[in-house]
Chain A
Amino acid sequence: MIALLKKYEGLWLFVHSPAAIVAAMVAVLIFLGAVFAPWVALVNPYDLSSFSLFDGLLPPAWQDGSNPKYLLGTDDQGRDMISSILYGARLSLVIGLSALTIAAILGVGLGLAAGYYGGRFDAVVMRIADVQLALPAILTALLIDGIARGILPAAIQQDLRVAVLTLAIALSLWVNFARTARASTFVQMNKEYVQAAIMMGQRPTRVMFVHILPNILGPLLVILTVDLASAILLEATLSFLGIGLPADSPSLGTLIRIGMQFLLSGEWWILWIPTLFLVALVVSINILGDFLRDIFNPRLR
């Protein structure tokens, strides 16, 4: 009953928050574009024979010297900007979402267990979290990237770039989940329903995942949203520093890195269109994150 009311209240609030509606629409549009990129994009940026250097550096359709075929122009390789951005968003979202999934499973699992068992296990998990916190996200990602470069054979490194980057981002984000899950679990542990379940002799995993987890989802959902934005930004930053993805698998971050070379050269669209797109995506996600935070923490309204 209470859950139902909450749900309706959330919906009601949503309908009355224009910012959230716009943000949701932008996010959904981008998600759809990313998912259906292979069907809606003009060219496939991974298929080298689908574009030609001959079409390189064409400006957007409203500028002189453009080709109407390429609405937002082409980059220095002759790739259609819209296609690159759609595929780029696809890759950025795949990386961001997979990193989050890994971080959430790892963090929530450890956090729940730490909150449930407490004591020595809790101490060990929290010390590991301390080590993790002592190395900020960007350094963690550098570390993982470097380790992968050192221990993986060069032949398969290229194929594993996405996996390595995902893991690097995941490892720099799991602590948030672990801490939140742990703190919320502590609170729930004192609730009667949990105590009752434990006394009834239910298995710890059942208590944790069936009883406690559903009741701490709210704060976790907020972290999930905010961290999706962080993951996308982190990927862009790593690519800017030249340790992200190579230029032939263009994520949004890589597109911006490539575009940077044209900052002063007059081909503004190669930099600013992907940047605008990235900012729009992250802003929408952040607005939705804020909105969710307000719903799950009604006192702040």
Chain B
Amino acid sequence: MSADPVAPAESSAFWQSVQRAQAAVQSLYLILGSLPDAVASSENPAAALLNDEAVAREVSIRLRRHGSGAGDDNLCRWLYDTFQSNDPDLQLVVLTFTPTIAGVYLLRAISREPLAGFEAVLLALYAYETVIRGGDPETVNLPNLANPSVYHEAKAPPKKGAVELDIAVVSPALEPYGTVRSTKRARIVGVALELYYSKISSMPLSSKLAFCEFCMVWAGQDIGTKAEGERSVSGPAGIAPAPAAEHVEEEAVAAAVEAAAAGENGGKEEVGENAAAAENGGKEEDEEKAASAEADENGGKEEVGEKAASAEADENGGKEEVGEKAVAENGGKEEGEEKAAADETGGKEEVGEKAAAAENSGKEEGEEKAASAADENSGKEEGEEKAAAADENDGKEEGGEKTAAVGADENGGKDEGEAKAAATAADKNGGKEAGEVKAGRIPLPWELFQPIVRIVGHCLLGPANPEELKTTAYAVVERLHWRATHDMNPQEILATRSLLRLGKMGDDTIAEPQISTNSDDYSEEALKMNARLT
């Protein structure tokens, strides 16, 4: 919608919707505590909300925060109410957060935390889609070339009527549900994702990127295969040291390189997974992966005994490296190998986490981890702005507040206007999101897998997608394909394999059209012709 002058009847409707949007913005302000001016004073609040990155980041941080999504979560209530306002633009705003909600929800649902807030939002999306479809399944009539169509002519027109068409069901009929039963969870989230997909062309980049991140986690850890080059997303920022000093949040204890900080959040909780991965890594290529392996080893050790089961391997692999790598910086530590840099940037979640895990362990256990201890301190002294580190600590200790801290620090970054701020934030998100994960891998039945693949397909091959998204999406497709082969599900293999191959082919954007006089081949062809004929 636009602020163009409109006819009176429309204008009243228009103003109503603006008012609704303003009300929504107002209540969001109450929840978040602050809003960027661009949103607060916008003439078109809904559109401003939709496209404002700062708000999106803030909201998604809160959604990912530990303990979010409970029945008394104000933010979830806001999302629910906003969606129920039936204002299309506001609904789009809510849909922006579908990936985060679905992502956090699915990862936590397994542990049976109270997630009534998330469920309410998801059910609202589901109910909306149910009403739109009228309970009918989504079907596709498979075209048959024996019938003529708008795009082609049949050889012999059918004698009478059309040849029977096969009917395929894309999405089965929907029953209205009042609660989320666990066996229907995948379906409800799947339908919410289908709704998201239907509006995906209006979704901002950050939302799609968030979706890709969650897909990586859902699919599970890729063991034995590489993590190479998967994430070039926030590459450079990953290794760049945090530039400016910033005021440290209340619980802020230490600071560190962002990548590490982000990783900390991640690594802390995700050790099991990392460990598994690292274990293989360690096994396979001790030297190369030593940095990360070491990280996990620490992680495994530090974290939980029960999860460490698989970490032994890397422990062996990684330990000897540690001593030498007493670098004052996590980044440095990790980078003991030149490869680490690439790793770190690449596997935002994975490597970052691992490094962080190492740091944590150092902190907590005060073990031989001189390296990590060292950087912690250094970070502390420098008083770097890395509030992320703060939240990591605090998250570690309380399991709670870390996201807030991250948010703060993100804001900090923004204020500074550092070019890196965005990337930093992204990094953090990556790490943090992984951080929420206990066991990342979730069951992906077809009803969930299908909408996921469709969305990822859009991210990979949709029109006018930025390179960043494509790279990420390609990594996701790789991961999903890996998952499909692991489950040996033929249908999933077919779908992801196609996407994988298409991703490799690169897009066929329009070839640089030549101007007519620019065709050498013609002349050569003509000459050949000449030669042949005369």
Q: Do A and B bind each other?
A: no
Please give the residue numbers on chain A whose beta carbons come within 8 Å of chain B beta carbons, in ascending order: none
